[in-house]
Amino acid sequence: GEEDGEGGRRSRRRRGGERVENMVRYSREADKAEKSCMARGSDLRVHFKNTREAGYAIKGMKLQRAKAYLANVMEKKEIIPFVRYRYGVGRKAQLKNLKIKSAVGRWPKKSCEFLLSLLNNAESNAEVKGLNTDSLVISHIQVNKAMCGRRRTYRAHGRINAYMSHPCHIEMILEEEADKVEKAEEEGEVVPAKTGRKIRKRLVSGASA
C-alpha cells in the first residue's frame, strides 16, 4: 500500500530523469486549508468493512482522544460498534457502555493499526504547518473499496475457488476546533414568537391574538 502525506503529493520519474509531481485528489476540500491537515492511504491491505466501521466510530473525535480510543480497542478495553456492516457480527455486552443502539461490534486490531498510522501521519503534517495538535478534530474520514486481490484456494474433487482480499483506500481531514464564544447577555427578557398553530387556535376560539 501507499500512504500520501499533506496534500497527497506523489512523484514519479520519466525516462529523461525529469521529476513530475501529481496531486492526489481528495473527495472534499477542507473549509480552512490553513487550519487543517490531511492524510491518505491507497490500496491498504486491510479489510474494508472493519476499517469503515472503525473510521465511522472516530469521526468527530479530537485527535488525542481518537488515538487513545484506537489503542484501547486493540487492548479490548473499548469496542468498535458495527452500524452498517453488522450482519453476522456477534453481540457484545461491552456496547452497553456506549450511547448507541447497535448491539454488535468487534475489536478490529489491524484496522486500528492502519488508522493510528494515518493519524500519526496527519499529526506530523499538522506540526509542520504549526497547528495546535491538541485542538485538532477529525472533521472528515472516508474509507473506499479498492481493487480486490485475487488468490485461489483448492477444494475437494479437484475444484478451485476464488480467495479474494478486500483492501481499501482511507483519507482523512483534521481541522482545528474553533474557540467557543459565549453568548452575550441581552437586556430584558426575550418573548418567544407565537407559532402559527397557536395563533390559529386563538382566532378560531374568538380570542385576540
Q: pLDDT, tens digit, for every residue of 17-61?
A: 555 455 678 888 888 888 999 999 999 999 999 999 999 999 999
Per the prediction, the chain carries an average pLDDT of: 84
Check: CB of residue 166 under 8 Å from CB of residue 62: no
Q: pLDDT, tens digit, for every residue of 75-133?
A: 999 999 999 999 999 999 999 888 777 889 999 999 999 999 999 999 999 999 999 99
Element (H, E) at 106: strand 105-106
Predicted TM-score (pTM) of the model is: 0.75
DSSP 22-69: EEPPPSS--SSGGGEEEEEEEEESS-HHHHHHHHHHHTT-BHHHHHHH
Check: CB of residue 107 under 8 Å from CB of residue 74: yes
pLDDT attached to residue 178: 77
DSSP state of 130: T
Check: CB of residue 90 under 8 Å from CB of residue 71: no
